[in-house]
Amino acid sequence: MEPNSRDIEQLGINTARILSIDGVQKANSGHPGMPMGAAPMAHVLWAHFMNYNPKNSHWANRDRFILSAGHGSMLQYSYLYLTGYNVSLDDLKSFRQLHSKTAGHPEYGLIEGVDVTTGPLGQGFANAVGFAIAQKHLAARFNKPGFELFNYTIYAIVSDGDMMEGVTSEAASLAGHLGLGNIIFLYDDNHISIEGNTNIAFTENVGMRFEAYDWHVQTVGDGNDFNAIKEAVKNAKAETHKPSLIKVRTQIAYGSPNKVNTAGAHGSPLGAEEVKLVKKFFGFDPEQSFEVPAEVLEYYRGKGSEGTKLEAEWNALFAKYKVEYPELAAEYERMAKGELPENWEAALPKFNAADGKMATRAASGKVLNALAPVLPNLIGGSADLSPSTETFLKAYDSYSAENPAGRNFHFGIREHAMGSALNGMALTAGIIPYGATFLIFSEYMRPPIRLAAIMKINPIFVFTHDSIGVGEDGTTHQPIEQLASLRSIPNLTVIRPADANETAQAWKIAVSHKGGPLVLVFTRQALPILDQDKYGKAENLAKGAYILSESAESPELILMATGSEVSLILASQAALAEKGIHARVVSMPSWELFEKQSDEYKESVFPKTLRKRIAVEMASPMGWHKYVTDEGAIIAMNGYGESAPADALYQEFGFTVENVVNQSTKLLGK
């Protein structure tokens, strides 16, 4: 078809191209090239395949669309506008401006119709795998004969950059293994990235690679042939046992006489003159901006309004389902609202000091297994470490291609994909996902943790083996800077409980937490269980920090710690008392929860007049200065650990009662 044809489909595609380049030109910032090449793919999805309702962007059975190549955001915004979402032409005109909903990259929560925030290449691809896992799980749990409640598809447009990123390889391998036939990804194969032709760095055979991952791979030779793209998507839909990749050979900046097929079209506006040439090429008025032919708007709005009918049909189906399966329906409605069943807290185990020592990872395993029956939507797994992280739900099956109702996930040794998949799962209403590995390997999961924090969604990251207490494994496995770096992430809550009962309270917070992701940090080594009749109650964990043990007389010193170091400062308090030194002991499992407390409460724990304070944590000291004041001291790790038995390391690095006592007397000038 001629590029300037007035055929409604061609005209619709061209309109999206023009809106995208005008948005970038007006903002004088952004990526015009990708939308120009990828518009036919987007058109095929929005006009012919996707089930969506622009009037309710949260409809549970909508198909998901993920623009993994988030830099092409104007393409997605254009289609949201054209199909009738709550996105106006003015929104397109305020692309990338302060407080506009059309941010540089699509942001979840900021604009309706964006299912996940994308931009860091590879993430959207891997998030999509999490969405697909969640769809299969919901279908397995809730669909019944005659009630296909959840049968949606996960669509994405992915780019060369996505294909180059490592996280994509992990996620694609997992998706192939799990046979996620609900995935259809269109690969914008334009051979161009920022530095030029991709052949300077990327010459592998992507199609063969995905076939090796057990994907269904098709190729469309001409990215402007939207009928060929339709045919490929139709084939992909017919393939229900394998994820589908459709490699579409496109041209970046198609329609731009001077920028087509060049990296020059990538990260900057085309320029006013070039924009005019593009408009001429597509038969648009070069003097107009943001031109939307009336018939195009009518066409796409018509497509969008079909969604109202689709959702109404689904609602009717759900109403019938409610009659046939009242318990399941109520269960789904409750979890989709993000509510927990009544009295679920009663399932939380209580631990007795008399039971002896227990690692917090072990306590966590007991808590998780106690919660699992009452919280059927709590699902998760680990990156091949469940015996170590103690995150396996013993009474439940594993999730697999054959059994997507399973609640235990074997992510394989793929921390990157696990983190990103958890985000996709957390973005699926009703699912409370967790994923576990060693704290040191949280390093492999920083991008998804950060994105979860930006999106304010609630996956639970479980990180065990949380200090030099791991001992013999040595420096490579001993976390040092991880706590400080996680605490520096806005919207993220980090909890490092001191014993088994605090661990139960930490899980209580985790499964009910809203407004951001949560990290639970557990020990490998056994710890005493703090006597609940003698010390501050573990429920106080919700306040982030609390007085665990007050001194017999007015305190002259505060000892504070998190996790395994809390029992050390308790023992130190007793040793100091023998010397006539009165120390208050504060357990401080979560800085973020503490910062949310009232000034009065904070003052009650850390009175301004009591400035002799010592913080003890087997990690980087960074950040503790705020709590110990300029009159205090920090016993922490100022470098890496060493491979040795844990007790030898505690001696070597000063995590002993003797050292805490010495530092205390020094601080007090005694």
Ligand X SMILES: Cc1ncc(C[n+]2csc(CCOP(=O)(O)OP(=O)(O)O)c2C)c(N)n1
Q: Which stretch binds ligand X (CB under 6 A): 130-138, 156-164, 228-236, 312-320?
A: 156-164
Size of the site for ligand X (CB under 6 A): 19
Residues 179-238 interacting with ligand X (rule: CB under 6 A): 188, 190, 192-194
C-alpha distances out from residue 418 to 76, 388, 411, 467, Å: 26, 17, 6, 22
Residue of 26, 43, 71, 543 that binds ligand X (CB under 6 A): 71
Which residues have a Cβ under 8 Å from the Cβ of 22 and sit 6 or more positions away?
92, 275, 289, 290
CA nearest to 528, candidates 498, 503, 548, 550: 498
At 446, give phi and psi (nearest 5°): -60, -45
Q: Does 120 bind ligand X (CB under 6 A)?
A: yes
Query: What string of H, E and C letters represents the secondary structure of 173-219?
Result: HHHHHCCCCCEEEEEEECCEECCEEHHHCCCCCHHHHHHHCCCEEEE
Whole-angstrom distance, CA of residue 434 vs CA of residue 455: 17
Instruction: Provide, rounded to whole angstroms, the least separation between the CB of residue 491 and ligand X.
Output: 20
Q: Among 155-163, 211-219, 306-314, 319-327, which window interacts with ligand X (CB under 6 A)?
A: 155-163
Total residues found in the chain within this entry: 670
Q: How far is the CB of 249 from ligand X (least distance, A)?
A: 12
Of 27 and 359, the one with the shorter C-beta distance to ligand X is 27
Q: Closest CB to ligand X among 168 and 391? A: 168
Q: At which residue do the structure tokens 């496995």 appear?
A: 477
For CA atoms 369, 375, 376, 378, the dihedral sign is negative
Q: Map the footprint of ligand X across residues 251-310, applying CB under 6 A.
A: 252, 266
Among 11, 16, 69, 460, binds ligand X (CB under 6 A): 69
The piece of 119-127, 175-183, 335-343, 467-475 that touches ligand X (CB under 6 A) is: 119-127
Q: Which residues contact 376 (CB under 8 A, 6 or more apart)?
A: 141, 331, 335, 407
Q: Which is nearer to ligand X, 165 or 502 (CB)?
A: 165
Q: How far is the CB of 657 from ligand X (least distance, A)?
A: 47
* Residues near 21 by beta carbon (within 8 Å), at least 6 away in sequence: 32, 35, 36, 74, 269, 270, 275, 278
Dihedral sign, Cα of residue 351, residue 356, residue 362, residue 366: negative
Q: Specify the residue, 34 or 634, whose C-beta has the smaller distance to ligand X.
A: 34
Per CB under 6 A, the segment of 4-12, 115-123, 239-247, 636-644 that binds ligand X is 115-123
- Residue whose structure tokens are 């009630």: 147
CB 204 → ligand X: shortest distance, Å?
14
In this structure, the strands spanning 154-159 and 64-67 are parallel
Of 454 and 667, CB closest to ligand X:
454
Closest residue to ligand X in the complex (CB): 161
Q: How far is the CB of 158 from ligand X (least distance, A)?
A: 8
- Selected from 34, 174, 220, 439, the binder of ligand X by CB under 6 A is 34
The separation between the first and the last C-alpha atoms of the chain, rounded to the nearest angstrom, is: 89
Listed in order, strand segments (DSSP E) in 447-545 are 460-464, 493-495, 518-521, 526-527
Applying CB under 6 A, does 619 fall inside the site for ligand X? no
Min dist CB 120 to ligand X, Å, is 4
Please answer whether residues 397 and 407 qualify as being in contact, where contact means their C-beta atoms are separated by less than 8 angstroms. yes
Nearer to ligand X, 259 or 584 (CB): 259
Catalytic residue among 9, 170, 415, 592: 415
Contact 161, 187 (CB under 8 A): no
In the complex, minimum distance from the CB of residue 414 to ligand X, in angstroms, rounded to a whole number? 17
Task: Report if residue 121 touches ligand X, rule: CB under 6 A.
Answer: yes
Nearer to ligand X, 78 or 190 (CB): 190
Q: Identify which range of 26-34, 545-553, 627-635, 638-646 contacts ligand X by CB under 6 A.
A: 26-34
Residue closer to ligand X by CB (options 189, 592) is 189
Find the binder of ligand X among 30, 54, 106, 119 (CB under 6 A). 119
Residues 30, 40, 124, 161: which binds ligand X (CB under 6 A)? 161
Q: Is there a contact between 103 and 77 (Cβ–Cβ < 8 Å)?
A: no
**Main-chain phi, psi angles of 49, to 5 degrees:** -125, -40
Which residue in this structure is represented by tokens 């970046």?
A: 252
- Is residue 603 part of the annotated active site? The answer reads no
The pair of structure tokens assigned to 506 is: 């930490």
Residue that is written with structure tokens 């305020």 in the block: 94
- Interface ranges with ligand X (CB under 6 A): 31, 33-34, 69, 71, 119-121, 159-161, 165, 188, 190, 192-194, 252, 266
Which residues belong to the active site?
A: 415
